[in-house]
Amino acid sequence: MSEPSPILTVSHLSASIAGQQVVEDVTFEVPATGITAVLGRNGVGKTSTLRGILGLIHRRGEVTLAGERIDGLATHRIVQRGVGYVPEDREVFAGLTVAENLSLAERDKSPRREFVAELFPDLVKRRGQLAGTLSGGQQQMVSVARALLNENRILLVDEPTKGLAPKIVGEVAAALAEASRVVPILLVEQNLDVVRRLAAGAIVIANGRVVHTGDARTILDDEALTTRLLGVSAEVHQ
Amino acid sequence: MSSIVLILLTGIGLGALYFLVASGLSLIYGLMHVLNFAHGAFLTLSAFIGWQVALSLGTASWGSFLVSLLVGAVVGAIFATLTELILIRPLYERHIEQVLVTVGLSFAAVALFEGIWGTDAVNVAGPAWLKGTTDVLGARIPNTYWVLMIAAALVLGGLVLFLKKTRYGMIIRAGVENRAMVTALGIDVRKSFTLVFAIGGAAAGIGGVLAMHYTTFVSAHLGSTLLIFAFIVTVIGGLGSLTGAAVASVLVAVLQQFANVYLSGTGDFIVVALLAVVLLVRPSGLMGRKA
């Protein structure tokens, strides 16, 4: 039986910020189901890869979404084609209420408000609260909720558990697991426990290039490999 | 007592005029990070066209005054929209070039206006009531100041309602905070750029027609003079903060009026000194966000 077509294909992607090359030559595919993790040491270009795919930074190379080239499109057009984005550091609009943050993200005629409300009941209670006054975990819920409101073809999720308390990490991971049932996710994540729990496949980036791809658990179970590529031992996270 | 009331109320009236010009500047900078030096040209053209309309309808009537205000707003909005679409948009994210092109437009516009309407100031007239005064606690307040205050209050109220109650307003508020994230939600933020320019141009247009009645003349340099103070209040209020622009407009104008009367006409100097102090002590302005 042939492999299903990937939902996202990235070929020879390079990206730069203010003239500084941050992604050298990245090539990988993201399957149409489940969660694929992007791993690597700090500063190797994981976040820049996601931002390059979205056109948020200057980039070159080919990016194909479900067979359609999107690398020549403006960011809002890429998103309109079904690419949801959960940025590093949440990036909620602090001066807008929770309801306004969510309303702003609604693109579909019938946004999935009930699905989001079931995943994040706390946000329903805090609809009128300014997003800037929420805790880090609550802001992350707003950020994830914004991406889940629409029927996307893929979500690009960047370090969703960064800086969160362990209990909140669990809640965010559970929400992503639930979300992955309806949409494939490309996940940048430093917390290897979360990766082990959520991701089926993994892509490892080093020095702006993909240096390894494969099954996430297989990579994390290979202590020598994780130590060499990620600079940490996965054992300590188990 | 009456002199203090006079200075205070005329200061608030002058602040209202500053706000009409500064509101657009502040919104444009907040969303697009463009320092729009052509804003004064929007104001001047609106004043000239508004004056021509009032002349054709008869300057003494309130009807022609209101029509000239409306025409001024429309002219300002159209001029600003064309500026954004033709000159600013092709230079997206090239802020220095954007500033330079607005500076160039401001110079070119003054030359064009002088070519059309001449280099001499043109005296203007309006409804007789505007030339009169109203007594407040013994102070005789020129009626033009009341019109300025009412217009600025209506513009401020309209802008606040627009920003709070409409989707485009929400997009603009979000864009002022984090423009890249707005695009990452699938929103074409460039439409908001044009809208903000149009709104700012309309407010400047209203300001232009009222400034003409305030000064009782219109010249090709009307906008340039006001633009300096509008920039000052925009920076003091906090770039991108509409409320900050409103507060700073009144603060600056009242201070300017008091200094002019009690400190030997040093109002302009005091305002520039205040700008320097704010930039040194609180660079983000009174109500601006920290970088």
Work out the average pLDDT over B32-53.
Answer: 94
Q: Give the per-residue pLDDT at A234.
A: 54
Q: Which residue, among A88, A92, A29, A22, has the nearest Cα to A60 in the 3D structure? A: A22
Rounded percentage of chain B residues whose pLDDT exceeds 90: 84
Task: Mutation target for B interface from A81, A93, A139, A148: give the one with most B CBs within 10 A.
Answer: A93
Q: Give the per-residue pLDDT at A208.
A: 81
Work out the average pLDDT over B174-189.
Answer: 93
> Angle, nearest 10°, between helix axes B189-215 and B167-183?
130
Residues of A in contact with B183 (CB under 8 A): 56, 74-76, 79
Q: Give the per-residue pLDDT at A238.
A: 40
Q: Hey, are the CB atoms on A79 and B184 less than 8 Å from each other?
A: yes
Is the per-residue pLDDT at B275 higher than 80? yes
pLDDT tens digits, one per residue of B53-62: 999 998 889 9
Give the lowest-confidence range in A3-7, B102-106, B252-256. A3-7
Contact, A189 vs A195, CB < 8 A?
A: yes
Contact, A168 vs A136, CB < 8 A?
A: yes
Confidence band, pLDDT 50/70/90 cuts, at residue B180: very high
Chain A residue with Cα closest to B165: A100
pLDDT tens digits, one per residue of A87-126: 998 999 999 999 999 999 999 888 999 999 999 999 999 9
Domain A8-237: which topology? Rossmann fold (3.40.50)
pLDDT tens digits, one per residue of B120-152: 999 999 999 999 999 999 999 999 999 999 999
DSSP string, A74-123: -HHHHHHTTEEEE-TT----TTSBHHHHHHHH--SSS--HHHHHHH-HHH
Half-sphere exposure of A203 (CA within 13 A, CB side): 25
Chain B residue with Cα closest to A144: B185
Residues of A in contact with B163 (CB under 8 A): none
Confidence band, pLDDT 50/70/90 cuts, at residue B97: very high
Confidence band, pLDDT 50/70/90 cuts, at residue A236: very low
Is the per-residue pLDDT at B9 higher than 90? yes
Q: Hey, are the CB atoms on B174 and A104 less than 8 Å from each other?
A: yes
Contact, A50 vs A156, CB < 8 A?
A: yes
A181, B246, B259, B268, B285 from B252: Cα distances, Å: 58, 10, 10, 10, 13
Is the per-residue pLDDT at B291 higher than 60? no
Bridge pairing between strands A185-188 and A58-65: unpaired
Q: Give the per-residue pLDDT at B94.
A: 86
pLDDT tens digits, one per residue of A141-150: 999 999 999 9
Q: Give the per-residue pLDDT at A3.
A: 63
Work out the average pLDDT over A65-89.
Answer: 96
Is the per-residue pLDDT at B274 higher than 70? yes
Q: Give the per-residue pLDDT at A237.
A: 45
Q: Hey, are the CB atoms on A75 and B183 less than 8 Å from each other?
A: yes
pLDDT tens digits, one per residue of A185-206: 999 999 999 999 999 999 999 8
Q: Hey, are the CB atoms on B170 and A103 less than 8 Å from each other?
A: yes
Give the tokens for residue B15: 């602040």
Tell the burial category of B145 from Cβ atoms under 10 Å away from its Cβ (0-12, 13-18, 19+): buried
Contact, A10 vs A61, CB < 8 A?
A: yes
Q: Which residue, among A191, A175, A181, A96, has the nearest Cα to A140 in the 3D structure? A: A175
Q: Give the per-residue pLDDT at B170.
A: 94
> d(Cα A125, Cα A136) in Å, to the nearest integer?
16
Q: Hey, are the CB atoms on B173 and A95 less than 8 Å from each other?
A: yes
ipTM of this complex prediction, to 2 decimal places: 0.90
Confidence band, pLDDT 50/70/90 cuts, at residue A231: confident
Q: Hey, are the CB atoms on A76 and B187 less than 8 Å from each other?
A: yes
Q: Hey, are the CB atoms on A56 and B184 less than 8 Å from each other?
A: yes
B55 touches chain A (CB under 8 A): no
pLDDT tens digits, one per residue of A22-49: 899 999 999 999 999 999 998 899 999 9
Work out the average pLDDT over B93-106.
Answer: 92
At A167, is the secondary structure helix, strand, or coil?
helix
> d(Cα A87, Cα B221) in Å, to the nearest integer?
47
B178 touches chain A (CB under 8 A): yes
Residue spans of the domains in chain A: they are 8-237
Is the per-residue pLDDT at B41 higher than 90? yes
Bridge pairing between strands A35-39 and A201-206: parallel
Q: Give the per-residue pLDDT at B141.
A: 95
Q: Give the per-residue pLDDT at B209.
A: 96
Q: Which residue, among B129, B140, B147, has the nearest Cα to B5 in the 3D structure? A: B140
Give the tokens for residue B192: 């908001």
A125, B8, B28, B230, B282 from B275: Cα distances, Å: 43, 20, 20, 12, 10
Confidence band, pLDDT 50/70/90 cuts, at residue B21: very high
Contact, A84 vs B151, CB < 8 A?
A: no
Radius of gyration, CA atoms only, chain A: 17
Q: Hey, are the CB atoms on A79 and B177 less than 8 Å from each other?
A: no
Contact, A150 vs A76, CB < 8 A?
A: no
Chain A residue with Cα closest to B163: A96
Rounded percentage of chain A residues whose pLDDT exceeds 70: 95
pLDDT tens digits, one per residue of B237-265: 998 889 999 999 999 999 999 999 999 99
Is the per-residue pLDDT at B232 higher than 70? yes
Work out the average pLDDT over B219-239.
Answer: 94
Q: Give the per-residue pLDDT at B290.
A: 57
Q: Hey, are the CB atoms on A76 and B177 less than 8 Å from each other?
A: no
Task: Mutation target for A interface from B176, B181, B289: give the one with most A CBs within 10 A.
Answer: B181
Residues of B in contact with A130 (CB under 8 A): none
The conformation of residue A130, written as its DSSP 8-state character, comes to: B
Contact, B215 vs B74, CB < 8 A?
A: no
> What residue ranges define each of the domains in chain B, with the CATH number in brackets?
2-281 (1.10.3470)
pLDDT tens digits, one per residue of A116-143: 999 999 999 999 999 999 999 999 999 9
